[in-house]
Chain A
Amino acid sequence: MSVLEISRLSIHFGGVKALQNVSLRAGEWEIVGIIGPNGAGKTTLFNCITGFYAPTKGKVRYRDRNITRMRVHERTALGIGRTFQNVGLVKNTTVLENLLTAQHLQIGYDPVAGIMGSPASFEEERRLTERAHQILGLMDLEEIAKVRVADLPYGMQKRAEIAAVLATDPDLMLLDEPGSGMGPEEAHELGDTLLKLREEFGLTIVLIDHHVPLVTRVSDYMYCLNFGEVLAEGTPDVVRAHPEVARAYLGEEPAEPDDDTRVQEAV
């Protein structure tokens, strides 16, 4: 059984065909990488999976359940967690607060009991804080627990965001450019972290990143999107060697200089 199965998904914004007949699947415990030039539709695909966009055509299935029309928070409840391209954290609060907020769905007391100040809510809050600290410890972020997110450097915000998604207790984790703003060394470390998280939490991960060496290292299967269509798919070696992939990156897209070098070393 596949965890995530997208079949012939299309989404059009007016005349713009952002995604065209995209099919993708991710199996249990798999890490699936998605690469592609800017504007290829990678993030749009995530938005369709998490429910921010309603696709024009096609289906999104999660564990054999059609979730194409489900609301965002309901999908989170099913176990779909995601990060955002430019850090999806509540930035005016601390990292710890974010992890508490992210545990929203696992909270036992009801909102009104919480407002009244029921003894159970105090007990539960203690438990939530404990779990938040556990996750922070696992992500090596313990020392920044009390720091406001906005005061953190970008790379650390990115790590904290992954911790926050873990706090939602996901089954399928969608990571939108977790390696952006990281140097090669940090990106390598991130790769190790992802592999470790899959081990410990039994996660299925779908990963978007421009950092091709990172994606090819951790992925079991890869997709390359271009102009809203799947250009190539297969094992990392197959995709990397695909001539169209190199063209898409180097030819038609005026990519940023550092992107260029990354792709060259990868291809």
Chain B
Amino acid sequence: MTKELPAVLLEEEDEQFRVSPGGWLGRGVVWALLAWLVLAVPSNFLSPFEIGVTDINGFSHAAIFAIVGLSLNVLIGYTGQISFGHQAFVGLGAFVSAYVVTDLGWEFWLAVPIAAGFGAIQAGVLGLISLRLTGLYFAVVTLAYGMFAQESLFGIAAITGGEAGKAAPRPIGFESGYAYYYLCLAFVVLVLWLDWRLMKTKSGRAMQALRENPRVASSYGINVKAFTLLAFAVSGVFAGIAGSLLAHADEVIVPVEFNFQLALLFVLMTVVGGLRNRAGVVLGSVFFAFLGSGKLVEWFGLVGFVEGVIGLPKEFVALVIGPILLLLTLTAFPGGIGQQIAPVKMWLLGHRFDMHAGEVNEVEVTDVRA
């Protein structure tokens, strides 16, 4: 090829860049701090903060939200289908898990895979619909499904306990909120692993290809329908796991928890977190989990201002700030939180510190003329 290479090639990753011992020390310290923040803060004996039994549940919720975010990321990020009914995915997992443990008397460890399986099945059914309807119309279907699930499906008293809700005891050994928090963390790690392998293997590549260009994907030999369904199923599995964890975190669940507000929060946290960016989605989900439960408002001592002066219940702050952040994400920072943290992330992974790391410039892909 005689043609001059494009500019991107010239600034190619400098192979010679080696992290100095001091550099590794600095990175090690930051890694240790991060690990300490995640592992030690919620537990009383290591933490300088006083975190009570009710607060620890907030941290478990944050971990569970991270799983929900990763689940939604598979749909919105990898396949480009938006779901406004994800609270129903999570809710179904929660009720199935509670039913299995409370009514059937089976172990929690069995309830999780069963909830995941139900999640996959219902997501698969919605996936079948998505093969026919896309974009806005599909979003409306998921919205309707979410409403239906909350109002009717979760109201079947024989299975869900109706308005009174259903008990969902924690597994043996994890009765305390602190132990349960670590259990949730373990599941976050599991889901992160699955998601990472998904994207590094043929299914992830197939999903990316079919999101961007179904024609090219099928001419690469990818069965577009099958892999769309697989994406839904994976998303459903993640949501089912999250639902199961959520049920046993709260120990009793009621249908009204799974309202549209929650679905909206899920979509906001995933998109603001940064689509197709694992770290971003996790951080976004954690942020919105604390914002949505009103904890963040409490910590900043703004309860008086928000509830007294503005007259907004503290749980609703997320639905005011969320859309503003969404607007910022869509217009200015398409990579969301993931884009903001990319310089630090790359530095931590042993690259040179670069302020411009992670800048997203997705090209507009016009449909290939075939």
Q: Which residues of A contact B (CB under 8 A)?
A: 43, 46-47, 50, 52, 71-73, 76-77, 81-82, 84-93, 97, 100-102, 104-105, 107, 109, 111, 114-117, 121, 125, 140-141, 143-144, 146-148, 150-153, 155-156, 159, 164, 168, 185-186
Give the distance to chain B from A153, nearest Cβ to Cβ, in Å: 6
Interface contact B197-A121, CB-CB below 8 Å: yes
Q: Which residues of B contact A (CB under 8 A)?
A: 1-3, 5-6, 8-9, 12, 193-194, 196-198, 200-203, 205-206, 208-209, 212-213, 215-224, 227, 230, 234, 362-363, 365-366, 368-370
Interface contact B9-A114, CB-CB below 8 Å: no
CB contacts (< 8 Å) of A86 on chain B: these are 366, 368-369
Interface contact A73-B224, CB-CB below 8 Å: yes
Interface contact A90-B6, CB-CB below 8 Å: no
Given contact pairs A114-B203, A151-B6, A73 touches B223 in the complex (Cβ within 8 A): yes
Interface contact B6-A116, CB-CB below 8 Å: no
Complex partner residue of A114 from B197, B215, B362, B365, CB under 8 angstroms: B197
CB contacts (< 8 Å) of A76 on chain B: these are 218-221
Interface contact B212-A153, CB-CB below 8 Å: no
* A92, A102, A105 interface centre (most CB from chain B within 10 Å): A92
Dominant SS at the A interface? helix
Dominant SS at the B interface? helix
Give the distance to chain A from B304, nearest Cβ to Cβ, in Å: 47
With both beta carbons as reference points, the residue of chain A lying nearest to B194 in the complex is identified as: A115
Interface contact B216-A115, CB-CB below 8 Å: no
Given contact pairs A47-B370, A85-B370, A147-B6, A92 touches B201 in the complex (Cβ within 8 A): no
Complex partner residue of B363 from A107, A121, A150, CB under 8 angstroms: A150
Complex partner residue of A125 from B2, B3, B200, B234, CB under 8 angstroms: B200
Give the distance in Å from the alpha carbon of A92 to the alpha carbon of B78 in the complex. 13
Given contact pairs A72-B219, A115-B234, A88 touches B197 in the complex (Cβ within 8 A): no
Given contact pairs A50-B219, A73-B224, A92 touches B365 in the complex (Cβ within 8 A): yes
Interface contact B202-A89, CB-CB below 8 Å: no
Give the distance to chain B from A205, nearest Cβ to Cβ, in Å: 16
Interface contact A88-B216, CB-CB below 8 Å: yes
Complex partner residue of B5 from A82, A91, A115, A144, CB under 8 angstroms: A144
Interface contact B369-A101, CB-CB below 8 Å: no
Give the distance to chain A from B104, nearest Cβ to Cβ, in Å: 27
Give the distance to chain B from A115, nearest Cβ to Cβ, in Å: 5
Complex A-B: 9 CB contacts under 8 Å: A72-B219, A84-B219, A84-B369, A144-B5, A144-B9, A153-B6, A155-B3, A156-B1, A159-B1
Interface contact A168-B221, CB-CB below 8 Å: yes
